[in-house]
Amino acid sequence: MRIDVLTLFPQVFEPFLAHGQIRIAREKGLLDVHLHDFRGFAADRHRSVDDKPYGGGPGMVIMCGPVYACDEDVVARGRAAGLERPRRLLLSPQGRKLDQAYLEELATEPWLVLLCGHYEGFDDRIREGLGYEEVSVGDYVLSGGEMPALTVVDGVTRLIPGVLGAPDGAGSDSFAQGSAGGDRLLEGPQYTRPREFRGLTVPEVLLSGDHGAVAAWRRAQARQRTAERRPDLLETTHFTDDDRSSDRSSSAPAGRRSSTPSAGAATCSSAGGSSRSLS
Ligand SMILES: C[S@@+](CC[C@H](N)C(=O)[O-])C[C@H]1O[C@@H](n2cnc3c(N)ncnc32)[C@H](O)[C@@H]1O
């Protein structure tokens, strides 16, 4: 995947791109990131990119000229590299809210262009004329689009096949689309050594070596945690026969101090029935 980022602060991205899964993806040749400072496309000697809003009001608005010129340059570069048409994303608190399903959709794209705002945001003719779709990281306002853009880059990168080491990649993470009918549950609790720490023990089932029992326990724990913390997610959950029989055989929710190898089924009360290359 190629990602071009248009920003006034390219240096903000560099440390993030040099670490973790993003670095690994770049080293494996699965991710090719290019940073572009659109101030470099300003038309005057002061390198101005913003101006006062028409009609008055506080703050400054990013002008069309530098962004259009930078966008055109980026598209020409991508085409020269053999790509056709980017999916353009403008980071904005007014956009479609980012979630795992949106990231999964973006991760299938060969080419993304991310445009980061500042000040009071952009002249609306940038969105309208260049066909940028707006993406929000939540219902709050940050001072710039750099952290939202990094959120998109990170979230998308770990979904590119081959980036994560585990065989099923991000498949068991919270919000990942489950195998059982497209549900998106929170992940259940995880443990590592030691077996006992300050009187807190690891559930016996995880030590049993019974892969079927472990899988059933994990599914039940995920459903329980989702019911407790995000019952809204259960409204679209598809319940399997195993879920139903697990619910019937359970009288109490499984917990951290569980000492039996039971699947520890959850009770889901609210269940709904179902221009610098960093490649
Ligand atoms: C101070 S904000 C501008 C907010 C704008 N005046 C409004 O009320 O919608 C400056 C820039 O930060 C970025 N930004 C701020 N909050 C964001 C959010 N929740 N999601 C995505 N980008 C955001 C956008 O790129 C935005 O252009």
At 244 the pLDDT is: 77
Map out the domains of the chain with their CATH numbers: 2-157 (3.40.1280.10), 173-274 (1.10.1270.20)
At 253 the pLDDT is: 40
At 276 the pLDDT is: 63
Decide: 97 in ligand 1 pocket, CB within 6 A: no
Contact 116, 144 (CB under 8 A): yes
Residue nearest atom 19 in ligand 1 by C-alpha distance:
93
Note the pTM of the prediction, 2 decimals.
0.89
Q: How far is the CA of 119 from the centre of ligand 1 (A)?
A: 8
From 92, 123, 139, give the residue whose CB has the most ligand 1 atoms within 8 Å, as the site to mutate: 92
Decide: 116 in ligand 1 pocket, CB within 6 A: yes
- 17-35 residue pLDDT tens: 999 999 999 999 999 999 9
Q: How far is the CA of 143 from the centre of ligand 1 (A)?
A: 6
93 as an active site residue: the answer is: yes
Q: β-strand 196-197 against 61-62: which pairing, if any?
A: unpaired
At 242 the pLDDT is: 78
Decide: 258 in ligand 1 pocket, CB within 6 A: no
- 83-139 residue pLDDT tens: 999 999 999 999 999 999 999 999 999 999 999 999 999 999 999 999 999 999 999
173 as an active site residue: the answer is: yes
Decide: 142 in ligand 1 pocket, CB within 6 A: yes
| Cα 217 from Cα 13, distance rounded (Å) | 40
Residue nearest atom 15 in ligand 1 by C-alpha distance:
142
User: Considering only CA atoms, which of 269, 268, 271 is closest in space to residue 224?
Assistant: 268
Q: How far is the CA of 151 from the centre of ligand 1 (A)?
A: 14
The one catalytic residue in 10, 66, 86, 93 is 93
Atom in ligand 1 nearest the alpha carbon of residue 137: 20
Q: How far is the CA of 58 from the centre of ligand 1 (A)?
A: 15
At 220 the pLDDT is: 96
**Long-range residue pairs from 72-78, CB within 8 A, at least 24 positions apart, any chain:** 73/36, 73/41, 73/275, 74/4, 74/6, 74/34, 74/36, 74/113, 74/275, 75/113, 77/4, 77/34, 77/275, 78/2, 78/4, 78/111, 78/113
72 as an active site residue: the answer is: no
194 as an active site residue: the answer is: no
Give me the residues of the chain with pLDDT under 50, please. 251-274
Decide: 123 in ligand 1 pocket, CB within 6 A: no
Contact 74, 85 (CB under 8 A): no
| Cα 256 from Cα 205, distance rounded (Å) | 11
At 240 the pLDDT is: 77
| Cα 19 from Cα 16, distance rounded (Å) | 6
Q: How far is the CA of 135 from the centre of ligand 1 (A)?
A: 10
Decide: 91 in ligand 1 pocket, CB within 6 A: yes
